[in-house]
Structure 1
Amino acid sequence: MFKIGDKKLINGWAFYDWANSVYSLVISTAVFPLYYTAITEGEKVWFFGIEWEHPDSLYSYALSFSFLIVALISPILSGIADYTGSKKKFMKFFCWMGGLSVMSLYFFDGIDTVWVGIIFTILASIGFWASLVFYNAYLPEVALPEQQDRASAKGFIYGYTGSIILLIINLILIQMPDTFGITAGMASRISFVMVGLWWIGFAQITFKRLPDDIYNKQPDNDYIWKGFHELKVVAKEAMNYPTLKKFLISFFLLSIGVQTIILMAAIFGSSELGLPAMNLIITILLVQIVAIAGAFIFSRFSEKWGNITALKVTIATWMLVCFAAFMLDKNQENVEMYFYGLGVLLGLVQGAIQSLTRSTYSKLLPETEDHATYFSFYDVTEKIAIVLGTFVYGFLYSLTNSMQWSVLCMAIFFLASFIILSTMKKTKYVE
């Protein structure tokens, strides 16, 4: 059994980022969306007896539905997990659910099997995001407050590094299928299986090192009702901490911008700037590589200048990204080079802001045994932000017929987050 603050325990915890981040890069961002578009382009698809003229809308709704499910179930399950001391069991369940669902995307091999792609997209997304609730909740149990910035950053650095390695392997497979005696479509489907195996396989290192129940909970039989009670108690507690409440509001506002831009960046480059798929994948890889350095640099910056100052710098940089994207035009000479430059700027703060928000929230928590329940509020805040952000983005696009105004609007949410963050009082570990 490792003690809190032990280097091996922190490394084991952080290694789950190495395991699961291949999902967010290969499945959510790069390979699967392009594969789905290639299969459904110019086609009408049927799903649950409904004909969809725009398959991209169906895919978007599927992801939104998965976020909604996670937002509904994670507070309840985390309350049960805290009451019964079973965070690791829940984390394992959703890891296996996500990994097996990703591998099942192999059976999505044509327009007649779109239903397979949609159903397992939903299940994989639920598995990924739900497992992160319990993973994040372990941070205050594996690292001391003064270690949490570096530990959180280490997780993101592991995640970006692992996902880059697997994406490059997948791209070699997809770009040179003849070398391996397969078709490009089969190469993509094999990539989905590789993601699932990578995710489940490397997660076992984390599961081996994480403690089972550090508070030795002895739950009664009526643990579901007691789980609901746990949720109610924590919700009431959270409202009594003004600094924590302010941070959650600020986190909600910045997440609207961060998550919407991450999800829509490839579509912006393709639809608004007319960039080919390979340019977009190069940009995605560039963002991941720079994000490794960004997470490391800002973890050190926060140690010297404090979490709040570091977060304000990243938020200001995100606003700059929004203004720069607004200024881009597909008719500009060398527009792809400007887009690459924007990718570098985005990468510098993408990993940094995600890492810093996680560790800052962890430091703001009161003395508690209910870490999973507290982190479920963090997770739900992010999911609702994604739903609102993508809606605002799409609504403005429909009004203006230009994604540039949608991107510019995200700067308003960043500004509001910056202002609220500026009113937060310093605490023992957050300044």
Structure 2
Amino acid sequence: MTDDVVTAPSPARRETREQRAWYFYDWANSAYVTTTATVLMAPYLTSVATAAACPNLPDGERCTATLSLLGIPISPGSLFAYTATVSTLVSVLVLIVVGGIADRSRRPTRMLAGFAWLGAVAAAAMFFVAGTNWQLGVLLLIIANLALGSSLVIYDSLLVRIASPDERDRVSSKGWGFGYLGGGILLALNFALDLFHSNLGLDREMSTRISLLSAGLWWGFFTLIPVLGLRHVGGTLAPPVQKSRGVVGGSFAQLVDTFKELRLFPQTMLFLLAYLFFNDGIQTVIGNSSLYGIEELQFSQSTVLGVFLFVQFVAFGGTALFGRVAARIGAWRTVLVCLAIWTVIVVVAFFVPAKSLVLFVALALFIGLVLGGSQALSRSLYSQLIPRGREAEFFSLYQAMERGTSWFGTLTFGLVYQFTHSYRWAIVALVVFFVVGGLLLSRVRMREGIEAAGNEVPAVI
């Protein structure tokens, strides 16, 4: 840890109208991320696929038949995971190309709007996934995930254009906080709909479909705020491509140059490597926490869902808390503190007794506190390490490399469970991701990396 902390930061500007508009895209898309992608779509798509493969399956029995997709036999229980994997792999290429094009667009907000509304339409159309129509669900899920990732590449890159180096920790943290609050509010409303669906004359399938529809409508409607508020934001453009190649062809060529150029920024590359490890650990813990709570700790699904809601609202406060901590000691040190807490969380999770609700809620409390802080501050740190005029292109690496390797943590989790038949060993195995990621991050020389990228060094790193 060699970066010095300057204790006399320059006065921050007042919050701008563009920054306030920017926050609301986190608010908008988190409805889909929370309600659809994280909570509802996996079990719902699995139930639709099971109905297609085993139409007369008795209650309590497990479907052993398979579906056929392009001649490939697929278990209904694996369909969601395979769909997520396909969208992940495709996004690795798509997002990098989107970043290259966005950096050459004079109105990147228009691209953000296009991808956001495409994703919102796909998310809302999941209302029509019913009966045995699992193929529609697969198609819409892939479209929505690709559109979400593409919009986030542009959204993240706009952070550099609306906030000075000294403001980015605060602005990024507040954006994440808005996301947790917005996603949590809609999830709470949908949770209430699920609890009282019979009182409203709905069966559970219809209440789930309405919840899926609400996530798409929320995403699309609230996207209006950043689209209108950021419509004049342009900023520095990347070098133009050769006209003979066109925008897309030139962006592919620029992609090769980007990877070559990345080697000229060793601190940026080291940060990305560290991020791949610790973010993979974070995503795996969050993605499997409900499974751990239900299967290993033996809580009911409603209890786990209630705890998940609790995490959403704690995370809103956690982003604000760690944003203030970062203002005093720097985002780099704050993220290292968060990773140390993550390490303790997964170790303690190994020892939590079954049905111990107090300890389970305590774990959720600490997860919520560090979740937003570690992710929001990582985004602002990375924004300091990328060259001007190449924001979307380099943020596409940030998004694509995250999505392209986010399967490694879940693979580790699954393999450890397969060999030990214990989710406890599977969860504690994730310690390695936080330890390795933290060690790599501790070796990043932030000041050197920021200066190498040609950016202004913030008062507190």
SS at match of 1:178: coil
1:150-185: CA deviations, max 9, x gaps? 111111111111111111111222211233222221
Runs (4+) of structure 1 exceeding 4 A deviation are 49-53, 216-219
- Kindly indicate whether the alpha-carbon contact (under 8 Å) linking 1:319 and 1:414 is maintained by their aligned counterparts in 2: yes
Q: Name the SS of the counterpart of 2:389 in structure 1.
A: coil
1:289-368 map, 5 Å: 289-330=313-354, 334-366=355-387, 368=388
List aligned pairs for 1:194-209, cutoff 5 A.
Answer: 194-209=214-229
Which residue number in structure 2 is paired with residue 228 of structure 1? 252
Partner AA of 1:272 in structure 2: E
Which range is displaced more, 31-40 or 87-96? Answer: 31-40
Instruction: After superposition, give the CA deviation of every residue in 1:367-425 in whole Å (9 maximum; x if it has no partner).
Output: x1111101011112211331111111111111111122221111111111111122222
Q: Which amino acid aligns with 1:413?
A: F
TM, length-normalised to structure 1: 0.92
Deviates more, 1:152-161 or 1:80-89: 80-89
Q: Which amino acid aligns with 2:304?
A: L
List per-residue Cα deviations over 1:272-303 (Å, max 9, x = no partner): 22221101111111111110111001111111
Paired residue type of 1:340: V
Counterpart CA distance in 2 for 1:418 and 1:119 is 37
Amino acid at match of 1:262: I
Partners of 2:278 and 2:171 in 1: CA distance: 22
Gaps of 5+ in 1: none
Question: How far apart are the structure 1 equivalents of 2:66 and 2:33?
Answer: 25
Residue 233 of structure 1 deviates from its aligned partner by 2.9
Q: Distance in 2 between matches of 1:383 and 1:53?
A: 23
Paired position in structure 1 for 2:162:
142
Q: Cα deviations across residues 335-391 of structure 1 (Å, max 9, x unaligned)?
A: 23322111111111111111010011012223x111110101111221133111111
Give the equivalent residue in structure 1 for 2:178: 158
Range with bigger deviation, 125-134 or 287-296: 125-134
Bigger shift: residues 318-327 or 49-58: 49-58
Instruction: State whether residues 270 and 276 of structure 1, in contact with CA within 8 Å, keep that contact through their aligned partners in structure 2.
Output: yes
**Amino acid corresponding to residue 412 of structure 2 in structure 1:** V
* Post-superposition CA distance 1:2-39 (Å, at most 9, x none): xx986110011111000000111101222333434555
Write the letter of the residue equivalent to 1:265: S
Is it true that 1:415 corresponds to 2:435 in the alignment? Answer: yes
Contact 2:98 / 2:150 at 8 angstroms: preserved in 1?
Answer: no
Aligned equivalents of 1:164, 1:128: Cα separation in 2? 18
Q: Any idea what SS the aligned residue of 2:299 has?
A: coil
Give 1:369-380 correspondences, 5 Å limit.
Answer: 369-380=389-400
The percentage of counterpart residues that share the same residue type is 29
Query: For the Cα contact (< 8 Å) 1:139–1:148, is it kept in 2?
Result: yes
Which residue of structure 1 lines up, in the alignment, with residue 100 of structure 2? 79
> Which amino acid in 2 is paired with 1:361?
Y
For 1:294-335, what per-residue CA distance to the aligned partner results, in whole angstroms no more than 9, with x for missing partners? 1001111111001111011100011011101111243xxx42
CA distance in 1, matches of 2:221, 2:335: 34
Corresponding residue number in structure 2 for 1:182: 202
Alignment of 1:386-401 (within 5 A): 386-401=406-421
Shift of 1:216: 6.5
Give, in angstroms, the shift of residue 426 of structure 1.
3.9
Q: Distance in 1 between matches of 2:312 and 2:68?
A: 34
1:97-123 CA distance string (max 9 Å, x none): 21111112111222x112222222222
Asked if the contact 2:67/2:75 (under 8 Å) is kept, the reply is no
Counterpart secondary structure, 2:406: helix
- Which of 20, 35, 39 aligns to 1:30? It is 39
Q: Which moved more, 1:378-387 or 1:283-292?
A: 378-387
Residue 123 (structure 1) aligns with: 143
Match status 1:18 vs 2:27: yes
**Aligned CA-pair RMSD:** 2.1
2:286 is matched with 262
**Offset at residue 268 of structure 1 (A):** 1.6
3-state SS of 2:67 partner = strand
Confirm or deny that 1:282 pairs with 2:306: yes
Kept in 1: contact 2:104–2:237 (CA 8 A):
no
Q: Which amino acid aligns with 2:87?
A: S
Cα distance per residue 1:240-259 (max 9 Å; x no partner):
12221211111111012011
Distance in 2, matches of 1:34 and 1:279, equals 16
Structure-1 residue corresponding to 2:192: 172
Query: What is the rounded CA distance, in whole Å, between the counterparts of 1:410 and 1:216 in structure 2?
Result: 40
Q: 1:82 to 1:51 in 2, by over 3 A?
A: closer
Which has the higher mean CA deviation after the structures are superposed, 112-121 or 83-92?
83-92
CA distance in 1, matches of 2:235, 2:441: 33
- CA distance in structure 1 between the aligned counterparts of 2:74 and 2:155, rounded to whole angstroms: 39
Query: In structure 2, the residue corresponding to 1:74 is in which secondary structure?
Result: helix
Structure 2 contact 68–74 (Cα < 8 Å) conserved: no
SS in 1 for 2:104: helix
1:18–1:158 CA contact under 8 A, matched in 2: yes
What is the CA–CA distance in structure 1 between the aligned matches of 2:66 and 2:129, rounded to whole Å?
13
SS of the residue corresponding to residue 274 of structure 1 reads coil
